[in-house]
Structure 1
């Protein structure tokens, strides 16, 4: 079984919201709801007592973390919330009764009730796309090449994003872009294990990872 996830290089993210917007379009997310939110963290002082311009900030994308041991699956009374064969956390809408126990148990507040269908929804990691060998929409539309998709069992250095267009040479065509991949190791600046972070773990073991260098990680607050 695979263990799919997304790794985001927060030093590359510019907060353009392309991931959030493209996700809503591709997955027909209702107005007022999001599968993928982009939060601004800061500006915060670089050191105690610091004032502008000695401040720092970054953008943090928050969505379903497709946890290894998800709380939402544990509390679901019908089995609608479940771990799929590819390791992602999915919702079977035919089984969902809209009780919202899963939404209340999620540590990250990324589930919501679709008022029209009366079922709970969240990020599916674009299961319809990755099942055909494509990248999740938020990864394929990231203009900063900050987001990478892959199998945790193979290590995050192997995670992939669309090819980076070289404006001085090479083929900049759309066809080249959508069919050619670049790995995280080939694309991002060097990082250490201390630079890799996760959202708070309350026993659910979130799968998504975030790389942040030379700034103070605020994701545990």
Structure 2
């Protein structure tokens, strides 16, 4: 914007107020000194302002200290280390595992009978069974099982020590693999894994196609004759959910079968796993079974 020859108001110097209209509280240089009462008034104002500024600066600090005194968390002593450990355990993720010690199994068949009674498994089908491995002195190895009567090998003819070098029993059941072929092939999502590592079957969704039966490399699945759906060992999850042991573990007289949380170092299964050589069936398949064994030989598959 161009100014006029005489200048615009914005270009003109500001008018100086005459002494008679000077700013309040500021006496013109030609005026006589203020009287003592007026000077005292000014100093009172300055002192009041200074105290107010100091108060505003200190107030947040005082409030913060008061809040800290009232806060029970701030005033509480250092936490008990044992309480911290307990909280960590409560937050730990549970992961169930199963262990079979073949050096303890006596082939009594009690586990098979308990499983059938607990889970209403048809007479000629099995969620768990026991195999006997017989090593003959001539180098032969025979494998048999007992699937009738009371499922005890006592009802079989005794082995002749003159021709038999050694024999032992191997319980079999679902391995509840980490990498599960059965879950991968199910076309309707009826096979599933719980957050604590148990592989289950949704019988309401299962269509009985048997894809999972064929995909299982351990032969632990079957089509239940009564339900016409896939069936297998569930580690008695309905019992485990209530804090109980699987039926087969509970009845085993020799402690062959051990079940528990493998993420808990204080669990029975974790303590045994920590001091023994552990094997799994068909480890070369990479399915990472959660059913583990003590005392396996190369012939056990």
Unmatched runs of 5 consecutive residues or more in structure 1: 161-182
Aligned residue pairs total 188
Equivalent in the alignment of 1:203: 286
In structure 2, the CA distance between the partners of 1:40 and 1:54, relative to structure 1 (3 Å rule), is: closer
Which one has a larger percent helix, Structure 1 or Structure 2? 2
Matched, 1:34 2:126: yes
TM-score calculated relative to the size of structure 1: 0.77
In structure 2, the CA distance between the partners of 1:37 and 1:207, relative to structure 1 (3 Å rule), is: same
Q: What is the RMSD computed on CA atoms of the aligned residues?
A: 2.5
- Is the Cα–Cα contact under 8 Å of residues 198 and 219 in structure 1 kept in the other structure? no
Equivalent in the alignment of 2:109: 17
User: 1:184, CA displacement in angstroms?
Assistant: 5.8
Matched, 1:103 2:213: yes
User: What is the distance in 2 between the residues matched to 1:159 and 1:77?
Assistant: 38
Instruction: Indicate the structure whose relative CO is greater, using CA pairs within 8 Å and at least 6 residues apart.
Output: 1
For residues 166-205 of structure 1, the aligned pairs below 5 Å read 185=272, 192-193=276-277, 196-201=278-283, 202-205=285-288
Equivalent in the alignment of 2:268: 159
- Is the Cα–Cα contact under 8 Å of residues 81 and 92 in structure 1 kept in the other structure? yes
Q: Secondary structure at the match of 1:218?
A: coil
User: 1:52, CA displacement in angstroms?
Assistant: 4.0
User: 1:44, CA displacement in angstroms?
Assistant: 4.2
User: 1:191, CA displacement in angstroms?
Assistant: 5.4
Once the two structures are superposed, residues 156-203 of structure 1 have per-residue CA deviations (whole angstroms, 9 ceiling, x without a partner) of x8335xxxxxxxxxxxxxxxxxxxxxx864xx9x9543xx21111312
In structure 2, the CA distance between the partners of 1:24 and 1:54, relative to structure 1 (3 Å rule), is: closer
Which one has a larger percent strand, Structure 1 or Structure 2? 1
Matched, 1:63 2:173: yes
Q: Indicate which of 195, 202, 219 corresponds to 1:85.
A: 195
User: 1:5, CA displacement in angstroms?
Assistant: 1.8
Once the two structures are superposed, residues 62-104 of structure 1 have per-residue CA deviations (whole angstroms, 9 ceiling, x without a partner) of 1101111110000001110011122110000111000000000
Q: Indicate which of 223, 231, 241 corresponds to 1:131.
A: 241
Query: Which deviates more from structure 2 when the two are superposed, residues 82-91 or residues 36-45?
Result: 36-45
User: What is the distance in 2 between the residues matched to 1:62 and 1:122?
Assistant: 11
User: What is the distance in 1 between the residues matched to 2:282 and 2:99?
Assistant: 15
